Homo-oligomer: A and B are copies of this chain.
Amino acid sequence: MELIKVGIFGATGYTGLELVRLLGVHPNAQIAFATSESMAGKSLKESWPQAPDIPLQSASSVNYDNVDCVFLCLPHTQSALVAAQALAQDVRVIDLSADLRIDDPTVYAEWYKVAHPHPELLPVPYGLPELGREKLLGVQAIANPGCYATATLLGLVPLARQGLILEETPVIVDAKSGVSGAGRKPKANTLFGEVHGNFSPYNIGRGHRHIGEIEQVLAESGFEAGRLVFSPHLLPTDRGILAASYVQVSDALASADALAEFYQDEPLVQVLPAGQLATLAHVVRTPLAAISATPGSDNLLVVNVAIDNLLKGASSQAVQNFNLMWSIPETTGLRYELVHHNSEAAYV
């Protein structure tokens, strides 16, 4: 099979670096170019010592003739501009920004406080494969979900679809993320001296922008907007998200079983046996999600979803989406499948 030529916009950020790592060893992909505005003309190796020696160019100098598919690790609004350019040249797009996630530009403007630069691109299929991979096969563009949205939706959607969440009850999501979720641009609150020894909530309640995409997806199962209370926190570690969802149900044990059954055939989402709890150690540096569903009482289910925010929360999910888009087996490039002789693949 011919290699698919891919371009990575925003390669020196944390998600861009992970994409280089994954696509660099993907058997069906070849990295055609990588962009960075701040480091154009330099090598990616100057940005990260373990990176390959890939030359960086500015986004404006990209030639779309020699590329089949682009991954956009750009700030929102900038991403839509590049997406529009690429699609106009018949280059497929996987957008890791928020620009293609919200179907309705009015809703986008509410959450992002800015008019959508290219509303004509919307809607675009939302790329969370375990919650609906059919709509992603062979498409031209995929909106890659947010990291918090991935962790939250993996826990809630199976319950919502089966009508297990009690009506008119609030759903609490207390989520904690490693610092890489805040990006690689120097900011006062992500300095080592501010994060080390600290733990801090932010945007509690209805303030976080991922609520928009979370409730859009939940609405497809009849979950009314406004019921979600979302509390994100900054953890003193570099990567990983653990999201605890507190859901009122009529039978917590049965709901836990339903969640396990929903994912039983998924290779990248693992519901742990009863009694085990999902932790960051289950998933960091892997494309996996680990889920534990624990009855907190007869009528309250505690769902913990752990993912690596840069992988299942961004770049490895983007590769799943890439595989589906190009009709390649979905986990290609994400497991050690070629060389693994042992009982089961694993990510030690």
- A residues neighboring B (CB under 8 Å): 3, 14, 17-18, 20-21, 24-27, 29-31, 45, 48-54, 170, 172, 174, 176, 179-180, 184, 186-188, 190-202, 204-206, 226, 229, 231, 233, 235-240, 242, 244, 246, 248, 277-286, 290, 294-297, 299-300, 302, 304, 333, 336, 338-348
Determine the distance from Cα of A333 to Cα of B344 in the docked complex, in whole angstroms.
17
Find chain B residues with CB under 8 A from A333 CB: 339
Say whether A205 contacts B295, CB under 8 Å: yes
A288 to chain B: closest residue by CB: B50
A174 to chain B: closest residue by CB: B174
Say whether A281 contacts B50, CB under 8 Å: yes
Say whether A342 contacts B237, CB under 8 Å: no
A23 to chain B: closest residue by CB: B342
Contact of A21 among B277, B281, B300, B348 (CB under 8 A): B348
A206-B297, A341-B3 known; A277+B242 contact, CB < 8 A? no
A281 to chain B: closest residue by CB: B198
A239, A242, A290, A342 — which one has the most chain B CB atoms within 10 A of its CB?
A: A342
Say whether A297 contacts B49, CB under 8 Å: no
A193-B179, A339-B338 known; A199+B24 contact, CB < 8 A? no
A231-B302, A339-B25, A339-B338 known; A186+B184 contact, CB < 8 A? no
Determine the distance from Cα of A193 to Cα of B339 in the docked complex, in whole angstroms.
29
Find chain B residues with CB under 8 A from A299 CB: 170
Contact of A202 among B24, B277, B295 (CB under 8 A): B277
Say whether B296 contacts A49, CB under 8 Å: no
Contact of A172 among B20, B54, B237, B246 (CB under 8 A): B246
Find chain B residues with CB under 8 A from A205 CB: 294-297, 302
Sampled A-B contacts (18; CB under 8 Å): A18-B348, A29-B341, A52-B342, A52-B345, A53-B343, A170-B248, A176-B176, A176-B199, A184-B191, A184-B193, A186-B186, A186-B187, A192-B195, A196-B238, A199-B235, A204-B304, A226-B297, A229-B296
Determine the distance from Cα of A237 to Cα of B178 in the docked complex, in whole angstroms.
13
Besides the known contacts A54-B343, A190-B192, A192-B194, 16 further A-B residue pairs in the complex with CB atoms under 8 A apart: A24-B340, A24-B342, A49-B281, A53-B343, A172-B174, A179-B191, A180-B193, A186-B191, A197-B239, A198-B237, A198-B280, A201-B279, A204-B277, A204-B296, A206-B297, A233-B242
Say whether A346 contacts B191, CB under 8 Å: no
Shortest distance from the beta carbon of A5 to any chain B beta carbon, whole Å: 10
